[in-house]
Structure 1
């Protein structure tokens, strides 16, 4: 039962999206799919250099977004990533928060409204992590530092406390350094005895402390001095003085003429105070009556980027009080243990060259005191997130941010706090990594999960549209359903920049989408394609077969499970943390966990060690309720933090000791599939092919329809698909490239399931919708040369089929009838088209700088390269090797006989390197699937001489590479010129072969 509508099966076969244009009627089974509304369309991060911009150009930029199919923008005042630059002298007028910026924001909002789009607003300059403020203001970020001194056992210490060591190991590069001003506030004094000292090859020292020796000496401090005699029990002690101080880390540079011009400072992200400081700045300086109203009309989110903030130890005023209230003990004597690699920015390195840990325990970052610290820090972060959400709602918006990562937080616990959580393709690179983020969002009923997508460190102007769409596909496979494209640049001039204009990130990262790119005017097809996919992937709720229990705090971005074994049989999965799983809101019903949501059919615990008391209790509850559970090796048996070990031990012992028929213990993940089978756990969609290990499936369900999204990450294959579908629903093939909806005519029903085949090329996708409709006779089996089937245009029972060769064919219908199709007659063979189109005339529009290279606009130089007998990339044509632009290929070909009602003609283009549009006899062809570039042109051909025109656009990379020695942004050249000098010339152009072939069409 083939679903032809997705890909070539043989060299002669065609995908249904191609054939369907000729023989399949376009239904409207899923209203809204053909032309998705703005809310479903991809959006662009829009980089505004600063407030010193041409207002008309800003309006034009936003209009350009609308014209090319975007749904809106994320308005980001870039300010050279917060590092300032050649326009600094004007910051007294144009800094973030100044009246000039407020005016620009209002114009952006007005243009958004005029074009029917939506807008997200960054909370501050650059990444939104700070606001202008007087330094040392409550609500700005603070940290904990310490000073230490050695004291011999039995020795008396009598004097001033050790001074704070503020020269710790900052992780710089793309992050502002801390500025060393301001005082230190004493938080506490402690001491501990040394058990052992070991040094590593990199000069780091690891000191084990005797836990019983830890002591809080704060109450003995008077006027900054301490008198204390170290016990004689141990040979040597360390005396610590712990101080709170402001981080003094900027999020945006400025000039010291006034508070706002002086730039922005990172706010406290671990209490409500930081969010309140930011919101108060907006209320006072930016939220005019007009802007408030416009935000209600077209605003979508307040927004913050991934946290790129540093601290010797992340902290917040009042942290010790919060810690004691939540954890039940005083943290002071344990503070030395918290300055650990695992609590640093990206867990890169310990803040000081000496790390302290408890003697007799592993230094693995999972001591109960480190866990208690992270739990407390995370609670403060959730307060920060909720404060922003409350404020955003008061403005008629909701809050979105890139949740938690880079910082020692439990991201999986935090994701459900944010109405529209966001990740980024630069960090989350695989579907498995994204599934760790997405699972908690689904459980928290967060239907829209966005991603900042398209940032690749391969040199600006180098990302092709197929590469961008591939990133979209990975995100869709990972459960993400809203693309925030990185990004669109301001279209005007920028001081210190040469052609091709304003280029953020100093030419390192992709991509600078705008009319400055040759491919820009050809992006509409990809935007519509993406919008249709997002429309489907935002319907109803996501359904998943399996939930993996995962404790990952601090969160590190890495794959957790390979997944090829599960995908090979059709299983889908995602992850839940103890905080997610421990929720009291969700129950087991009919062996399914959270039936109204993801509907998990089994829980997998893969070599997990830690669990909360609440999650251990939930584990018992779901086991008692009959949820199938597979435990690989052992159950988690260690409480997270210092509380609740007795509860965990009791619950886990019950699960180990009781005879639960729905719990299986296995030694290896290799036995997972057969164990699931023994537990009678089946996927919603089964896939019958060895190649299915690379096939990603996404299932969505709403009140009336189910949707199956398929993405083939592997080589071209045919997949046997069996999906659980209600009897009253019929399958439709939704073509995301063209918008066409075709009722499937080749499928088989059996016991509440629908079976069919899908053929997909590498990188290709398909969408099947199951919705209410009249059941018709369908093909349930056929010979291999039947490669396409669809219902006739009259909407009746008649079926049309496409044959891939001239041989006899047979098929069986659902009403029991068998149909025989005779082999092609000699006249049919004679009239079949087999045309190789050649002798192409190539005209290349080369995009180069104008006479004034300081101007961003390109001059389009027309180059007539003449007849190309053999199609090859421009990089292999001497005159075009280093060019970027638009190529127009024209040719003529002879058609001795136009296709009759018994055949169709398929035009095949070969690989698409970036973009493609085509016209036959001056009539534009439908949108072309860039992963399978062929179109039914039966209705476009005429007898005799025919003309064809193909337009392809390149990136701007080759033109920039040819000028890498002088292009500049912000007054300087590319930060990593090797991304250009060491790279090959990109391949662009029409490379073919281009041909037209006939396929037989038979009406049953």
Structure 2
């Protein structure tokens, strides 16, 4: 259900506060679809009821609002209705308390009456409920509705800073975590303008960064139904989205990319996330999760000196020019960009949490705080006033739970003493609230104090880490500086049988480093989701309760360090592999272009590899699609064991076969593949199918009369004046022998 309407389509909108009307509306489209299909077919094909991003606007009244308000707040709102028109009643403070109760009631009804109702409907139809965010459009606690949702969802955009959704992502991830949802998804790679240069290789680091953030299922944006079989690229969503559909040039070889994503997601759906810290979003409305930059004032030294300086410059925003991305859209360079906040807490992960889980679910388990979602947090943070949340308010129920957690032994960080209990309350209630607040903040002039078995720590916290509190870094990189550590994205999950750490090199260069993991007594192994291969890690040691592993990652490479098999060993020293050049295959290739994509007829012979876009032949220069490279070579090696083919550089994907045997699809660094099983002594035939993107053909076709063009699309042409993209196989193409050092 996409809650977005074009101007000419706007009409009546269902009352989101009234369960009876919600059921009526759902029954007349969702229910009707099920009835039309019939129960047998529906049970086979219908699995998910999905609510996409909330784009229909907000709501502050309903035929049930007065009754719901009185039931939830304990008094009749009708007596104070002028405040909803901006007219104070009794006093400004009193009016603001009434308005708070109005906002809280709206937030409660969005969650309970709307999402609670559709969750029940989904259950009745035996399907799962999937939903993106309510905030920022609707007055809400941005996490609350996820308790009713089976599959929480966020949204991230590609090359579209003005439309990217960092808060949506952290809301969905935190909401999923605190309510114990095992699958957290994201609408992925939505783009404001398609450049037609997108391919798996340049999507990978964005996907990996969001996997590390906490996503473990992607919704690809966008696959548009294209009714034509003779128009390419064909129907698009105007120029919105990344082109994931059958007339994408790399759709068939792109299976290797989708396989990679499925393998990563399979691993990241195991067990539960390991998160050390949780931050309270507060009880004002609207409220959203904390993106990393909002935490800097409260734990400055955890972010490090360089980050404090860069944040000072960013927030002052003096002399910083605006930028354009995409080229038609201007944006401010000081906006929150999660790609610049990788591993921001230097080895710690955090969630945000709301009053609902604090009051109704929080408990102490072996010295840690649990919300019954499968994650145990070492400490809770209550930041007090902050950007977009300037009030220092705290409800009596929240304060009482904080006090109880402290007495039980929790570690809790607090900021300034709250001075306001939200909403209309009795004098007795107010006195009780004040007593609890005074008991918690009884030593607020100190930096830390004890209450019962627990510890209160005053914010801002000036430590560099949390080791002194018994919370050591989950992972860190001892031989990397802070800047380089912040280009390694990571996530940790734990099941009954294994711990797995996802690592992603966000740099476009090869890196060799040590990683120190907060685990001991198990053998580390490496799982490569590109190749689907698990291998031993040659060098590691266990000391001081940690395992330090030597890791090599190629440019943009990612994978999993998995701890499963128990060991009493504390040191492993082995020889890492190295590759020796055996043979170079750069010369004398035959190229076969696809004539249905307006490529040249016949075989194109070349003595050396070249960039198609530099050709003097326009049929090659502006070609988009797949080209088959072929050649024969003589293998003179003694054996074919551990023999690899390295393509050097390609643009953009390559399917390799030798002697008719599939040797894999290469789409990301390193562009090499094991050919041991395909290679034979003597004469061999190698075939490499290289595929580029649509950009060059679209640029070339724009120079031709419409009747001579290959391409047709509903996306506006916006590549005027753009340079052609590199395309083809560039090499050096080499046969390598794998050896141990």
- TM-score of the superposition, structure 2-length normalised? 0.79
SS at match of 1:273: helix
Partner of 2:439: 654
Partner of 2:106: 377
Residues 489 and 502, structure 1, Cα contact 8 Å, conserved in 2: no
Q: Describe the shift of the 1:554–1:594 C-alpha distance in structure 2 as closer, same or farther (beyond 3 A).
A: closer
1:684 aligns with 2:474: yes
Counterpart selection for 1:717 from 511, 532, 535: 511
> Aligned partners of 2:706 and 2:18: how far apart in 1?
44
> Aligned partners of 1:325 and 1:875: how far apart in 2?
73
1:296 aligns with 2:43: yes
Partner of 1:933: 671
1:445 aligns with 2:180: yes
Partner of 1:843: 592
RMSD over aligned Cα atoms? 3.8
Q: Describe the shift of the 1:294–1:546 C-alpha distance in structure 2 as closer, same or farther (beyond 3 A).
A: same
* Matches for 1:114-125 after TM superposition, within 5 Å: 122=1
Q: Describe the shift of the 1:913–1:493 C-alpha distance in structure 2 as closer, same or farther (beyond 3 A).
A: same
- Greater shift after overlay, 954-963 or 389-398? 954-963
> Aligned partners of 1:303 and 1:955: how far apart in 2?
31
Structure 1: unaligned runs, 5 residues or longer: 1-121, 130-173, 180-248, 251-264, 340-354, 789-801, 806-831, 849-858
Residues 845 and 863, structure 1, Cα contact 8 Å, conserved in 2: no
Partner of 1:516: 247
The Cα shift of 1:390 comes to 1.0
Q: How many residues align?
A: 661
Residues 488 and 506, structure 2, Cα contact 8 Å, conserved in 1: yes
Residues 180 and 372, structure 2, Cα contact 8 Å, conserved in 1: no
Q: Describe the shift of the 1:499–1:576 C-alpha distance in structure 2 as closer, same or farther (beyond 3 A).
A: same
1:386 aligns with 2:386: no
* Matches for 1:329-348 after TM superposition, within 5 Å: 329-332=75-78, 338=84
Q: Describe the shift of the 1:888–1:777 C-alpha distance in structure 2 as closer, same or farther (beyond 3 A).
A: farther
Counterpart selection for 2:621 from 881, 898, 901: 881
The Cα shift of 1:701 comes to 1.8
Structure 2: unaligned runs, 5 residues or longer: 297-301, 305-342, 386-391, 444-448
1:466 aligns with 2:201: yes
Partner of 1:867: 606
Counterpart selection for 2:351 from 563, 566, 574: 574
Q: Describe the shift of the 1:978–1:284 C-alpha distance in structure 2 as closer, same or farther (beyond 3 A).
A: closer
> Aligned partners of 2:99 and 2:650: how far apart in 1?
52
SS at match of 1:320: helix
SS at match of 1:611: coil
SS at match of 1:651: helix
Q: What per-residue deviation string (whole Å, max 9, x for no partner) do you get for residues 444-477 of structure 1?
A: 1111111121221222754312234334223211
Partner of 1:924: 662
> Aligned partners of 2:544 and 2:602: how far apart in 1?
63
Partner of 1:613: 396
> Aligned partners of 1:569 and 1:534: how far apart in 2?
24
SS at match of 2:232: coil
Q: Describe the shift of the 1:525–1:501 C-alpha distance in structure 2 as closer, same or farther (beyond 3 A).
A: closer
Residues 402 and 422, structure 1, Cα contact 8 Å, conserved in 2: yes
The Cα shift of 1:665 comes to 1.9
SS at match of 1:615: helix
Residues 567 and 696, structure 1, Cα contact 8 Å, conserved in 2: no
* Matches for 1:273-672 after TM superposition, within 5 Å: 273-282=20-29, 285-288=32-35, 291-310=38-57, 314-332=60-78, 338=84, 367-382=96-111, 383-405=113-135, 406-426=137-157, 429=164, 434-459=169-194, 461-493=196-228, 499-500=231-232, 503-506=235-238, 508-551=239-282, 553-554=285-286, 559-561=291-293, 567=344, 569-584=346-361, 586-594=363-371, 597-608=374-385, 609-631=392-414, 633-634=415-416, 637-643=419-425, 649-658=434-443, 659-660=449-450, 662-667=455-460, 671-672=462-463
Partner of 1:342: none
Residues 590 and 631, structure 2, Cα contact 8 Å, conserved in 1: yes
Residues 712 and 764, structure 1, Cα contact 8 Å, conserved in 2: yes
> Aligned partners of 2:148 and 2:530: how far apart in 1?
35
> Aligned partners of 1:757 and 1:667: how far apart in 2?
36
> Aligned partners of 2:367 and 2:31: how far apart in 1?
54
Residues 431 and 474, structure 1, Cα contact 8 Å, conserved in 2: no
1:952 aligns with 2:690: yes
Q: Describe the shift of the 1:747–1:876 C-alpha distance in structure 2 as closer, same or farther (beyond 3 A).
A: farther
Counterpart selection for 1:995 from 715, 723, 734: 734
> Aligned partners of 2:693 and 2:292: how far apart in 1?
36
Q: What per-residue deviation string (whole Å, max 9, x for no partner) do you get for residues 1-59 of structure 1?
A: xxxxxxxxxxxxxxxxxxxxxxxxxxxxxxxxxxxxxxxxxxxxxxxxxxxxxxxxxxx
The Cα shift of 1:418 comes to 1.0
> Aligned partners of 2:614 and 2:394: how far apart in 1?
57
Q: What per-residue deviation string (whole Å, max 9, x for no partner) do you get for residues 268-301 of structure 1?
A: 2233134212233147733338532233334221
Partner of 2:321: none
> Aligned partners of 1:450 and 1:444: how far apart in 2?
15
Residues 459 and 980, structure 1, Cα contact 8 Å, conserved in 2: no
The Cα shift of 1:481 comes to 0.8
> Aligned partners of 1:635 and 1:662: how far apart in 2?
16
Q: Describe the shift of the 1:995–1:896 C-alpha distance in structure 2 as closer, same or farther (beyond 3 A).
A: same
SS at match of 1:454: strand
Q: Describe the shift of the 1:834–1:618 C-alpha distance in structure 2 as closer, same or farther (beyond 3 A).
A: farther
> Aligned partners of 1:502 and 1:765: how far apart in 2?
34
Q: Describe the shift of the 1:519–1:723 C-alpha distance in structure 2 as closer, same or farther (beyond 3 A).
A: same
Q: What per-residue deviation string (whole Å, max 9, x for no partner) do you get for residues 395-425 of structure 1?
A: 1112112131322221112222211122222
Residues 638 and 645, structure 1, Cα contact 8 Å, conserved in 2: no
Greater relative contact order: 1 or 2 (C-alpha under 8 angstroms, separation 6 or more)?
1
SS at match of 1:424: strand
SS at match of 1:755: strand
> Aligned partners of 2:669 and 2:560: how far apart in 1?
15
The Cα shift of 1:556 comes to 6.5
Residues 555 and 670, structure 2, Cα contact 8 Å, conserved in 1: no
Q: Describe the shift of the 1:967–1:377 C-alpha distance in structure 2 as closer, same or farther (beyond 3 A).
A: farther
Residues 425 and 455, structure 1, Cα contact 8 Å, conserved in 2: yes
SS at match of 1:925: strand
SS at match of 2:244: coil
Counterpart selection for 1:704 from 469, 483, 497: 497
Q: What per-residue deviation string (whole Å, max 9, x for no partner) do you get for residues 835-855 of structure 1?
A: 36344433332665xxxxxxx
Larger radius of gyration: 1
> Aligned partners of 1:710 and 1:433: how far apart in 2?
23
> Aligned partners of 1:988 and 1:610: how far apart in 2?
59
Residues 587 and 593, structure 1, Cα contact 8 Å, conserved in 2: yes
> Aligned partners of 2:210 and 2:15: how far apart in 1?
31
